[in-house]
Structure 1
Amino acid sequence: MALPAAVAAVVGATAATTPTAAHRGGEGHGGGGPASIGKQYFGSTGGQSVYRYTLDSGHGVTVRILTYGGIIQQLDAPDRHGREADVVLGFRTLDDYVKYNSPTAGGGVYFGALIGRYANRIAKGTFTLDGKTYHVPVNNNGNSLHGGTVGFDKKIWSATEVKGKDGSVGLKLDYTSPDGEMGYPGTLKSEVTYTLGQDNKLTVHYQATTDKPTVVNLTNHTYWNLAGEASGDVYDQRLYLNADKYTPTDTTQIPTGQIATVKGTPMDFTSPTAIGARINSSDPQMLTGQGYDLNWVLNRSGGGLSLAAKASDPSSGRRLTIWTTQPGVQFYSGNFLTGSLVGISGHTYRQGDGFALETQHYPDSPNHGNFPSTELRPGQVYDQTTVFGLSAG
């Protein structure tokens, strides 16, 4: 399951357990150098060892990925002056991820994790495929969220280091989900490859195959704060979404099936807008999610990578640009961070301290015939790619 040539064309030393000064607002890498990858033991859970891989672009961006949940634990990026900071939310220890990333433990934040088999929600944990009804675990307001109580974010993935001919470095993660796991049909073989190029683009390439008809929706649930993960809320950071429409939800955050215009609503990010500019709106959709927590329908024409979103932080000059092959993006403004979780740098995370842009198919697609299909059948390959570009200016 290699990275497609068309996607590869676009993409163009072991770290300590806690962030070092050089990667927490210190000086940048200067003139740059070759990309590199390193590995270290991170802990164990359930008798299985967990490792952390460090991907370094050689040009200021460093990404640390755990084999537990495929989690992006840290992502250091330079500001307009070359000073680096960790721009994603995360925990310091494996124990914290095991305890607090799980919805059954009162957390459910999914910091940085790979999500599957089905990202987002399925109404009442029920869907029908080829005339047969399937039931998956209910774990969120009477619905199934992010694959159920034990999703892909809680699995230990097999890892293989990858070095590209273009000077990029990568980490290929594999996990096979047995037939019936979390109620989903078919043995699903999943492969996710993180690739970091010297151009400071992080590509996430998803592939999966099945031996029975099933439904699949994979994504990554990284929370971003372009000013730095312990810098406070993201409400002054600006967001552009390449989407004229979104999918409204009912009071349990399940899509109604309608595809509505963003025009005249707080969901209009067709021009760069501060995340907090309309977050206190009394619009019913905003009240339901206690802020932004909705799926936007991306403006697309044809296949391949297409622009999904741009975000920027005026104070640091950091910019995030996202391209994807997926039809939708779930924008979540960190509404349920309550100050009860202590992040990687020892600071608590409060409401709005990070935002997620989860490229994916629409929520509850198996129950909406007018949504793009998430069905996968034997002989087919689920193949989706998202590229995160980091820059500053």
Structure 2
Amino acid sequence: MQANIQQGDFGTLPDGRRATLYTLMNPNGLVVKISDFGGVITEIHTPDRDGKFADINLGFDNVLPYLEDSPYFGALIGRHGNRIAKGQFVLDGKLIQLPVNNGENHLHGGPMGFHRVFWNVEPFEHGDSVGLTLSYRSVDGEQGYPGNLDVTVVYELSAANELWVRFHAVTDKDTAVNLTQHAYFNLAGKGDILGHLLTIDADAFTPVDSTLVPTGALQPVAGTPFDFRTPRAIGERIGEKDEQLEYGGGYDHNFVLNKRGKACQLAARVVEPLSGRVLEMHTEEPGVQFYSGNFLDGSLTGKGWNYYYRGGFCLEPQHFPDAPNHPNFPSTILRPGQEYATQSKFVFSVEK
């Protein structure tokens, strides 16, 4: 089997613009489908221990639901992933006001963030790897952010069953940048994700207030339901009486990754025991947002699935939420002459 790329129609927006869907296949038969609208990953097909393929990614089979209903299914997120308190931060003495779209807070770049724009797409093939180079110019003032930001995202599906996501950006004014990928996974292909075994290489997490904005503290995971340093079922402690779990309705928190001097290191591993499917997330980022699908409620249907409560999980590699308001967090400020560059990969395998 040869690696290949195909493209097809993904539907028409109300204003007449047409979306395109790109299908990437590696020599092992893994399939990843990505649209130019929002850079969304719509499908990921991987085998179980018996070689049976299933789609392990939550999404839709047409562009229209991504306009309204999608809780960021599979989307590229920017300019700033996660929450910024009250949509405000001070940059070089100037107050920057962003739109608020999550209660009183700014979430995932605003209502018209990178998840709702068309990206320019260039397919490529490198030997047994196939991929897409996506580019977009976010103009000065877009969603309240200063500066023209030129962004490039490279998706690459390798023969080693790795899906690489590489981000690059430059700006002509001081601004805030924190890009991520928001895929929802269910390694069983159906049902809930509570039996998935999760490991996160993090000794601490960033606790949040009742609006899910970090307090600024770094809390040790030891002795808490947030300790995933050894494999634990996602559902094992999700119902415990814990203020942080109550605020999130489950897990919706940034984990402070243990950096071990590796450029792109293993940060999280998930095993689905019945199918044997394994997902590993490697990243250069200092944090990962683990989200346990707490706001899914069965009202969304896509590709023949009903997306029920806790029917998918996210592992979003990122800088910390609300970083511009916390000097003790790794900075997300990008200045002219600097380059924003980071990469992560999702690795798919099976346990026999």
Q: TM-score range by the shorter chain?
A: over 0.9
Q: What is the alpha-carbon distance in structure 1 between the residues aligned to residue 131 and residue 62 of structure 2?
A: 23
Question: Whole-Å Cα distance in 2 between the matches of residues 98 and 92 of structure 1?
Answer: 13
* Distance of 1:204 and 1:112 partners within structure 2: 12
Aligned to 1:129: 91
Which residue is equivalent to 2:102?
140
Partner of 1:21: none
User: Which structure 2 residue ranges, 5 or more long, are not aligned?
Assistant: none
- Does the 8 A contact of 2:10 with 2:61 survive in 1? no
Residue 61 (structure 2) aligned to one of 84, 87, 92: 92
1:119 is matched with: 81
TM-score by length of 1: 0.88
TM-score scaled by structure 2?
Answer: 0.98
- 8 Å contact from structure 1 (residues 34, 198) kept in 2: no
Query: Which of 37, 40, 49 is the aligned partner of 1:68?
Result: 37
**Counterpart code for 2:347:** G
Alignment of 1:350-361 (within 5 A): 350-361=308-319
- Does residue 214 of structure 1 match 2:182? no
Looking at structure 1, the residues matched to 110 and 261 of structure 2 have their Cα atoms a distance apart, in angstroms, of 32
Decide which structure has greater strand share.
2
Partner residue of 2:206? 247
The C-alpha deviation readout for 1:157-184, integer Å capped at 9, x for no partner, is 000011124x200101111000000000
The corresponding residue for 1:41 is 9
Look up the SS of the partner of 2:344 in the other structure: strand
Give 3-state SS (helix, strand or coil) of 1:153's partner.
Answer: helix
In 1, are the aligned partners of 2:264 and 2:284 still within 8 Å (CA)?
yes
Which AA in structure 1 matches 2:77? I
- RMSD (CA atoms): 0.9
**Aligned counterparts of 1:385 and 1:256: Cα–Cα separation in 2:** 27
d(CA) in 1 for partners of 2:11, 2:310: 30
**Are 2:111 and 1:153 aligned?**
no
Deviation at 1:348, TM superposition (A): 1.5
CA shift digits 1:56-100 (9 cap, x unpaired) = 012031000000000000000000011000001011221111121
Tell me what 1:259 maps to: 218
Which deviations, in whole Å up to 9, do the C-alpha atoms of 1:308-342 show, x marking residues without a partner? 10001000000001110100000000000011111
Residue aligned with 1:124, SS: helix
- Gap change, CA 1:303 and 1:209, over 3 Å in 2: farther
Q: Deviations over 1:122-169 (max 9, x none)?
A: 00000011111100011112100000111100001000011124x200
Q: CA deviation at 1:303?
A: 5.6
The one-letter code matched in structure 1 to 2:11 is G
**1:302 shift after superposition:** 3.3
Matched positions, count: 350
